[in-house]
Amino acid sequence: MSSARGNSAGERYAAEHYGDERDDERFRRAGRGSRPRGKQRPAHADAVLAFVVVVDRGRYTCRLTSNFGHGQAAKSSDRPITAMRARELGRRAVVVGDYVELVGDVSGAPGSLARIVRIQPRRSVLRRSTEEGESGERIVVANAERLVMVVALTDPPPRTGLIDRCLVAAHDADIEPLLCLTKADMPGADAAADQLRRYYGQAKLRYVTTRHDRPVTELTDTLTDGISVLVGHSGVGKSTLVNALVPNASRAIGELTGVGKGRHTTTAALALALPAGGWIIDTPGIRTFGLAHIDIATVLASFPDLIEATTLCSPGCRHQIGEPECGLDVWVARGRADSERLVSLRALLS
Ligand SMILES: Nc1nc2c(ncn2[C@@H]2O[C@H](COP(=O)(O)OP(=O)(O)OP(=O)(O)O)[C@@H](O)[C@H]2O)c(=O)[nH]1
Ligand SMILES: [Mg+2]
Ligand SMILES: [Zn+2]
């Protein structure tokens, strides 16, 4: 609907919002006064496209964008816009990474407030269960094309459990995974790196290594274009990477979240435009990545080195330890896969 002309716009509005129940009584109740609602609300033909960069207690910080997927280096005139949800969104969540349409005051001037009237269809939805065992789930970010699993080679020591879980979530959401091993400058990092490369080499996972004392060129080149989200335990160096990838990021973080300059312990997801295009989304550190919403087949599909073995299983096999005739045990016994990979898979299935 691009314009509101007489009854037809009103009718179309009613058809969209009330389906077959558009009798006169409902129509009057929904609108204010006796004028058809379509006339008062011409479907926001003047709405502008924006990208949601921060969500905080019912306020959404957005940046204007002209094209999907491509972040733009923020210009000084391009101020962050604070917006609220319009009532017509209903209960639909607006999350970081969403492309939305804004109306109202989109100047970004201090004290101004725009309204989000539409959410664009999402390319992907990265979800995690709220707590282990609970069925509730939350959306981490929308529209991500790349999930960067950030793991410190030391301090905190790498744990494969979280990476395995993130890989399953990425597979489920059709998001490309990338492993980023940080703190390669620290003592003991080399041995840890060897171990992780061996382990994830079996899953054919791409990885990059970063360190404090070198530029993050390889990561910069890998993340150009599209939306990338950083996920990992607290203290692994996610925000440090963002600061290396985005000049003036620490200033932008302060500007967008009200957190002061200098060190920033991340408490909410935050998207920043990458200088060469694309967006990077920093997220708070997590202890685990709940997968209660994902089925067994999807978990198995995330272990490409093991899935073939399940053709050897007896029907109805749950692939657990002590399962009679589980093909996975046969596979490992034949040396077709590493036993630590099977231990990881079973930890996820149980
Ligand atoms: N030696 C070394 N230290 C690093 C490196 N990357 C990050 N650090 C340090 O690790 C600590 C944690 O870094 P952050 O970037 O705040 O970690 P984070 O993942 O954002 O943590 P949360 O926001 O709590 O999730 C800081 O003291 C960093 O200086 C690295 O490559 N080498
Ligand atoms: Mg952080
Ligand atoms: Zn089995």
pLDDT interval class at 70 (50, 70, 90): low
Residue 238 CA to ligand 1 centre (angstroms): 6
In terms of Cα–Cα distance, which of 350, 331, 341 is closest to 303? 341
Question: Which ligand lies nearest to the CA atom of residue 232 in the structure?
Answer: 1
pLDDT-derived band of residue 12, with 50, 70 and 90 as boundaries?
very low
Distance from the alpha carbon of residue 180 to the mean position of ligand 2, in angstroms: 15
pLDDT of residue 260: 46
Q: Average pLDDT of 186-213?
A: 90
Nearest atom in ligand 1 to the alpha carbon of residue 286 is 25
**Distance set, CA 295 to CA 168, 292, 300, 317, 349 (Å):** 10, 8, 9, 15, 9
CA distance linking residue 188 with residue 181, whole number of Å: 13
Ligand 1 atom 3, closest CA: 183
> What is the 240 CA–ligand 1 centroid distance (Å)?
5
Q: Which atom from ligand 1 is nearest to the alpha carbon of 184?
A: 31
Ligand 1 atom showing the smallest separation from residue 236 Cα? 19
The answer, yes or no, to whether residue 229 has pLDDT greater than 80, is yes
137-186 pLDDT tens trace? 889 999 999 999 999 999 999 988 999 999 999 999 999 999 999 999 99
pLDDT of residue 283 exceeding 80, the answer is yes
Determine if residue 7 is left, alpha or beta; phi over 0 gives left, psi from -120 to 50 gives alpha, anything else beta: alpha
Ligand nearest to the CA of 323: 3
User: Predicted confidence band at 261 (pLDDT cuts at 50, 70, 90)?
Assistant: very low
User: What is the model's pLDDT at position 81?
Assistant: 95
Tokens of 91: 């209960």
Q: What is the whole-number distance in angstroms between the Cα of residue 153 and the centre of ligand 3?
A: 33
**What pLDDT, in 10s, does the model give residues 75-102?**
545 789 999 999 989 888 999 999 999 9
Count CB neighbours of 143 within 10 A: 27
Which two structure tokens, joined as six digits, stand for 290?
């709940």
Choose one of 140, 219, 240, 280 to mutate for the ligand 1 pocket test, by most ligand atoms within 8 angstroms of C-beta.
240
Flag whether pLDDT at 281 surpasses 90: yes
| Chain Cα centroid distance, residue 72 | 19
Q: In the chain, pLDDT over 90 holds for what percent of residues?
A: 53
Q: What is the pLDDT of residue 158?
A: 93
Angstrom distance (rounded) from CA 127 to CA 141:
8
Separation of CA 118 and ligand 1 centre (Å):
37
Output the pLDDT for position 23. Answer: 34
Residue nearest to atom 21 of ligand 1 (CA): 235
Give the residue, 25 or 331, on which the prediction is more confident: 331
For residue 234, give the ligand nearest its CA.
1
Q: Higher confidence at residue 66 or residue 116?
A: 116
Ligand 1 atom, smallest distance to 210 CA: 31
What are residue 139's DSSP bridge partners? Answer: 127
Q: What is the pLDDT of residue 143?
A: 96
Residue ranges lining ligand 1, Cβ < 6 Å: 182-183, 185-186, 210-212, 232, 234-240, 265-266, 284-285
- For residue 61, pLDDT beyond 90: yes
For range 330-338, the mean pLDDT? 92
Alpha carbon of 332 to ligand 3 centroid (Å): 12
Computed over every residue of the chain, the mean pLDDT equals: 83
Neighbours of 252 (CB within 10 A): 19
Mean pLDDT of 287-303: 89
pTM, to two decimals: 0.83
Nearest atom in ligand 1 to the alpha carbon of residue 264 is: 16
CA quadruple 41, 47, 51, 55: dihedral, nearest 10: -30
For residue 222, the model assigns a pLDDT of 94
Q: Is the pLDDT of residue 8 over 90?
A: no
- Residue whose entry in the numeric block shows the structure tokens 């529209």: 143
What digits encode the pLDDT tens for the residues 213-228?
999 999 999 998 899 9
Q: What is the pLDDT of residue 1?
A: 36
In the chain, the largest separation of any two C-alpha atoms, in whole Å, equals 77
Side by side, which strands form the sheet with 207-209? Answer: 207-209, 176-182, 146-152, 227-231, 279-282, 270-273
Question: Which residue owns the Cα nearest ligand 1 atom 11?
Answer: 235
Banded model confidence at residue 287, pLDDT cuts 50, 70, 90: confident
DSSP string, 116-146: EEEEPPPS-EEEEESSTT---EEEEEES-SE
